[in-house]
Amino acid sequence: MKKLLIIIIIISSGFGLKQLYLSKTANNTQLYGAKNQPINLLDETDPRIRIVYFGFTRCPDVCPTSLAMLSGALNQIDKTTLSQFRPVFITLDPERDDAKHAAEYAHYFHQAIEGSSGSLQTITQLAERYGVVFRKSELPESELKYTIDHSSYFYFLKPDGTLLTKVPHTMTPEPIVKAINELSQL
């Protein structure tokens, strides 16, 4: 019984330390959006659920398809439901995508989607927090010089950054609409 109690205390302590780490690292996640204005992704005074997508503006297929599906989903929900959500595009290529460019790109798909950029360190920290896999791949024969290989999910987050659910890359808006409708009932 004593060993079981010790194990429970150790596991609980580990969970507490992880939450402390996540809360401290959340404060160092400064992003910038339109007009280079700071975006506080993890602003607990803003009650909206975040729909976060990590990608990059020179992505040839996955990102434009994903953002088009997000746009399609946003166009299928009513304004009251839409007001409960904050869609945010975060570039994985801050070397080429400054805040202005990321915001313009996101707005091309839907005016409600905030485009953002930041330091590579900040973006990497956020990506790691949610299990986003990405890496820079050199393209020596291309004028682009490199691309970003990355996973493709929509992350639904509480205002404090807690992951509620994630929706994988999709070719239709329906899975995103379903997640929005389920979460808008909370």
pLDDT at 23: 44
* Environment class of 183 (CB within 10 Å of its CB; exposed 0-12, middle 13-18, buried 19+): middle
pLDDT at 6: 46
pLDDT at 90: 98
pLDDT at 181: 97
pLDDT at 186: 77
- Greatest CA separation found in the chain? 65
Q: Rounded to whole angstroms, how far apart are CA atoms 21 and 157? A: 17
pLDDT at 11: 52
Q: How many other CB atoms are there within 10 angstroms of residue 10's CB atom?
A: 10
pLDDT at 2: 55
Residue ranges of the chain with per-residue pLDDT less than 70: 1-28
pLDDT at 157: 98
